[in-house]
Amino acid sequence: VQRLPSLPHYRVGTIWRNGRCISDTELDTERLAVNFNAGKWRTTSRRALIASGQGHLFADEEYPLILGNDDRCKLLNFSTSRSMMVAIC
């Protein structure tokens, strides 16, 4: 069982470090239906995405992390009805 943090505290485009919001980005907000049921989401990381050939989905140029492409920060990966990936870290 993995516990999810209180997602309402994290706004689209906010950047968090050590439990504090340090910045935010200018992103268009879009409402997407995601499924939190077992098997409908998984955890991943930038490192795992690169290892699976999907590094372009969360590139360092778009969102630099302290450890760059070796970062193991957990991301929540959802597939939407429009075959999009939504990553929440």
Q: Tell me which residue of 51, 47, 55 sits closest to 85, measured CA to CA.
A: 55
- Rounded to an integer, what distance in angstroms lies between the CA atom of residue 85 and that of residue 82? 9
Q: What pLDDT does 45 receive?
A: 82
**Which comes out higher in pLDDT, residue 77 or 27?**
77
- Provide the residue type at 12 as one letter: V
Q: What pLDDT does 69 receive?
A: 74
CA atoms within 13 A on the CB side of 69: 12
Q: What pLDDT does 22 receive?
A: 75
Helix (H) or strand (E) holding 63: none
| CA-only gyration radius of the chain, Å | 13
**pLDDT tens string 50-65:** 888 887 777 667 667 7
